[in-house]
């Protein structure tokens, strides 16, 4: 692989991960300042992004990528669409809605705990002191975020904490299941298709056309809503997926941690989110463990 393509991959993953984090903060702003509900927002994100990404695949990649759909592949794809893509989107947005983007994004980073537990349970890897260290450190980080050092009370809404941890579980499933399907499906076909399936299902729960038009929307609110979907979801996924052609999974994993960093920083600067000292320590612990896991994969 030539150097220019490698640099292109690094730029794509950095921009993609940053847009994910900024998109989370934009979503937080929308929930705070408009009547938009989590369920409608998830419907809009999945439906619009799914149509765009699937259209890009159909126009530019379909002729180069031939595959034969089987009943097994279709079933696995539908399961992934519901329990992977849709669940990770809904639980993450619900965590933001009940809490804030900074906390929600960091809690989602606990996904590696469940991946490790799954690998140990399936006997793909042995249980070692390193696994124990990773899980205990992650738990300490979550505890510090949830309590800010005072174990007698929660500094985070119980629903925000619950949905944040559930988003980590959903992300773990999403991460484990995706490589299996990508052996047959093009990444854009998988992501765009699963988003569209999720969007169709979410339309039965909260239709995209069911939005409060009586609300006095400002120009800035409309722009932020549109860009949070087009940039924070569609473009972010497209860039991240494209980057994997040019860089290693280790590089993508490490640079992907820019997402929670950008979410925390933009939440602090633009939404005046306040974090306690112990919550900051908890965030740092989780991010450092994330870096450790990514570099450990390279060594292993």
Q: Lowest mean pLDDT: which of 7-16, 71-80, 104-113, 236-245?
A: 236-245
pLDDT of 297 reads: 55
- Over 70: is that where the pLDDT of 48 sits? yes
**Span of 21-25, 150-154, 190-194, 294-298 with lowest mean pLDDT:** 294-298
Least confident piece of the model among 120-129, 130-139, 267-276:
120-129
Q: What is the pLDDT of residue 300?
A: 46
Q: Alpha helices of the chain — where are they, by DSSP H?
A: 3-33, 38-60, 71-79, 87-98, 101-108, 111-121, 129-147, 158-181, 187-205, 219-229, 236-243, 249-255, 258-270, 277-299
Contact status, residue 182 vs residue 190, Cβ threshold 8 Å: yes
Determine the pLDDT at residue 40: 97
pLDDT on residue 124:
77
* pLDDT at residue 298 tops 80: no
pTM (two decimals):
0.90
Specify the number of domains making up the chain. Answer: 1
The arithmetic mean of pLDDT across residues 6-15, rounded, is 89
Across the chain, mean pLDDT equals: 90
Looking at residue 244, its pLDDT comes to 75
Average pLDDT over residues 100-122: 88
| Res. 15 pLDDT band, cuts 50 70 90 | very high
> If you average pLDDT over residues 234-242, what whole number do you get?
88
What is residue 127's predicted lDDT score, i.e. its pLDDT? 85
> Is it the case that residue 263 has pLDDT exceeding 80?
yes
Q: Could you tell me the residue range of the domain that residue 251 belongs to?
A: 3-299
Compare 68 and 71 and report the one with higher pLDDT.
71
Look at residue 274 in the predicted model and tell me its pLDDT. 87
Share of the chain above pLDDT 70, in %: 97
Beta-carbon contacts of 134 under 8 Å, excluding residues fewer than 6 positions away, are 112, 113, 116, 289, 292, 293
Quick one: CA dihedral 12, 17, 20, 24, positive or negative?
negative
Does residue 151 surpass a pLDDT of 70?
A: yes
Residue 4: exposed, middle, or buried by beta-carbon count in 10 A (0-12, 13-18, 19+)?
exposed
**Residue 69, Ramachandran bin (φ over 0: left; ψ between -120 and 50: alpha; else beta):** beta
pLDDT at 243 over 70: yes
Residue 97 has pLDDT above 60, yes or no: yes
């Amino acid at each position: 692989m030539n150097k220019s393509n490698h640099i292109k991959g690094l730029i794509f993953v950095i921009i993609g991960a940053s847009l994910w984090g900024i998109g989370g903060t934009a979503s937080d702003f929308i929930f705070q300042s408009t009547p938009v509900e989590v369920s409608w927002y998830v419907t809009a994100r999945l439906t619009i992004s799914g149509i765009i990404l699937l259209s890009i695949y159909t126009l530019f990649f379909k002729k180069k990528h031939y595959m034969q759909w089987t009943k097994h592949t279709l079933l696995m794809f539908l399961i992934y669409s519901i329990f992977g893509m849709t669940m990770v989107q809904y639980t993450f947005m619900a965590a933001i809605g009940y809490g804030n983007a900074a906390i929600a994004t960091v809690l989602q980073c606990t996904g590696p705990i469940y991946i490790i537990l799954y690998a140990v349970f399936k006997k793909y890897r042995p249980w070692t002191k390193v696994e124990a260290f990773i899980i205990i450190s992650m738990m300490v980080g979550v505890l510090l975020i949830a309590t800010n050092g005072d174990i007698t009370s929660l500094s985070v809404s119980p629903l925000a904490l619950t949905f944040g941890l559930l988003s980590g579980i959903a992300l773990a499933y999403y991460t484990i299941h995706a490589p299996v399907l990508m052996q047959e499906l093009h990444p854009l076909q998988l992501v765009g298709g699963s988003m569209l399936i999720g969007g169709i299902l979410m339309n039965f729960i909260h239709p995209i056309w069911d939005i409060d038009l009586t609300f006095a929307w400002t120009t800035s609110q409309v722009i932020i809503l549109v860009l949070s979907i087009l940039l924070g979801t569609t473009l972010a996924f497209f860039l991240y997926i494209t980057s994997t052609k040019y860089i290693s999974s280790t590089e993508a994993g490490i640079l992907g941690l820019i997402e929670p960093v950008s979410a925390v920083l933009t939440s602090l600067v633009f939404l005046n989110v306040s974090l306690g000292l112990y919550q900051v320590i908890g965030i740092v612990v989780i991010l450092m463990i994330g870096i450790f896991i990514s570099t450990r994969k390279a060594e292993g």
